[in-house]
Amino acid sequence: MTAMTVSQLAPFYGARQAVKAVDMTIDAQKITAIIGPSGCGKSTVLRCLNRMHETIIGARATGTVHLGDQDIYAPDTDPTLIRRRVGMVFQQPVAFRTRNVYENVAVGLRLQGMNAKAELDVAVEGALRSAVLWDEVKDVLDKPGTALSGGQQQRLAIARTIAIKPDVILLDEPCSALDPIATANIEELLLELKQQYTIVIVTHSMQQAARISDETAVFMVDTTSGQAIGELVEKSQTLHVFTNPQDPRTESYISGRVG
């Protein structure tokens, strides 16, 4: 089943086009990995999937992205509502330092108008359990979020994102600031979460993509026109991409010859 359909999506920074028009589909309840060398626009494309891209000054995108039946780039669409359905976790673990662990998870729920204590308690505990963090933080719920370790903060960010029950979770290099053990925890968690959520993850690590993803999209930088522009060169099942790449550029990238 298809969760999102990307058609002719072209992100811009000012007048400069960052990525050649992208067409791809994102399967529901699967993990789709986006890999590629630095500057290929993989994060940019990811950020277009919940309209976070345009929060950068001068940034915009053309084309359409359908979430179910809805085009999230339709003119009358409120991007904040899209972002509640397509959540995002960032490279740098973010714990709001002025909020305790509990409130770090509750913030999205409060934003949606949930204020009853009992209701919040259930939702926060559920989200923390889903993020496999509950056992570690249940005794320090009133401590500042920044008191947690980096790996815990990243799972806290994931808990915050899944607390509002989005359809899709976007992760932008969620493990690049973490050590191998914390990384393994996050990967395990993502494999759990894909039972319920559609997951798109940008990663620098081909090994990580190979370990956890079902589908892989490979982006490369094209400099033939004199200006660097990203492009999607290949997208298919992860196994195919890594064992039988169709594009020679993919082959040289995954074999470590470029990038």
Positions touching another protein (CB under 8 A) are 50, 52, 55, 57, 80-85, 87-90, 92, 94, 96-99, 107-108, 111, 146, 157, 160-161, 164
Q: Which is nearer to another protein, 95 or 254 (CB)?
A: 95
3-state secondary structure of 185: helix
Q: Which is nearer to another protein, 166 or 245 (CB)?
A: 166
Q: Which is nearer to another protein, 28 or 107 (CB)?
A: 107
The DSSP H or E segment spanning 207 is helix 206-212
Query: Closest distance between another protein and the C-beta of residue 72, in Å?
Result: 12
Among candidate residues 114, 101, 199, the one with its CA nearest the CA of residue 142: 101
Q: Are 29 and 36 in contact (CB under 8 A)?
A: no
Q: What's the token pair of residue 162?
A: 């899944």
Query: Closest distance between another protein and the C-beta of residue 258, in Å?
Result: 30
Can you tell me the distance from the alpha carbon of 215 to that of 13, in angstroms, rounded to the nearest whole number?
Answer: 28
Query: Closest distance between another protein and the C-beta of residue 225, in Å?
Result: 28
DSSP assignments along 43-101, one per residue: HHHHHHTTT-GGGSTTEEEEEEEEETTEETTSTT--HHHHHHHEEEE-SS----TTSBH
Residue indicated by tokens 């204590």? 117
CA atoms within 13 A on the CB side of 206: 18
Q: Which is nearer to another protein, 3 or 82 (CB)?
A: 82
Query: Closest distance between another protein and the C-beta of residue 81, in Å?
Result: 6
Query: Closest distance between another protein and the C-beta of residue 207, in Å?
Result: 25
Query: Closest distance between another protein and the C-beta of residue 237, in Å?
Result: 28
C-alpha triplet 188, 191, 196: angle, nearest 5°: 135
Q: Which is nearer to another protein, 81 or 258 (CB)?
A: 81
- For the chain, what's the residue count? 259
Q: Which is nearer to another protein, 21 or 140 (CB)?
A: 140
Q: Which is nearer to another protein, 15 or 57 (CB)?
A: 57
Query: Closest distance between another protein and the C-beta of residue 256, in Å?
Result: 31
Residue 16 burial by Cβ neighbours in a 10 Å radius (0-12, 13-18, 19+) = exposed
